[in-house]
Amino acid sequence: MSRIINIDSIGKQRTQLSKAVVLAVRDLARQKDVTAETRDLASFISIALQTIADGIDSSVTAWEKRDYWIKADKFRMEWAWAGQTAQKMRTAVLSDDWASVAILSAHAAQKLAKIQVSENHRLGKPWIGAYRQLLAAQ
């Protein structure tokens, strides 16, 4: 029997979401007025960061099984900001606090500064409809 390889792992999803968040932050920084796209961008950043935060524990279970506790804890501490920022961003979007959205998106951009997205990316615009999704989850 051959090995089963999961090509859609949590790590790959985290990488794709991180790149999408970087793109969303860039587009959000270009926005001048609050439009439907602005709401979608900020909502997507919140949803994506929460998805990343939810996948952290499942990412470190393999390390914990091998007794790499320090590596697992370091990884958790490295990504702890994602869940906190997602919650704050969600609250700011739902209360139309765009000054906080700007500060939080800059914080996310600073944390994801090492991630590079090429000009020829195939990510599209995953933030379309994210505001409705955020409202539905509320």
45 Cβ neighbours under 8 A, 6+ residues apart: 21, 24, 25, 28, 86, 89, 104, 105, 108, 127
Let me know: does 45 contact 27? Beta carbons within 8 Å. Answer: no
Asked if residue 138 has pLDDT above 90, the reply is no
Q: Is the pLDDT of residue 6 over 70?
A: no
Q: What is the pLDDT of residues 89-105, one digit of tens each?
A: 999 999 999 999 999 99
Residue in this structure with the two tokens 């932050």, named with its chain if needed: 25
Q: Domain extents for the chain? A: 12-137
97 vs 117: CA distance, rounded Å: 28
Confidence tier at 11 by pLDDT (50, 70, 90): confident
Residues of the chain with pLDDT > 90, as a percent, come to: 62
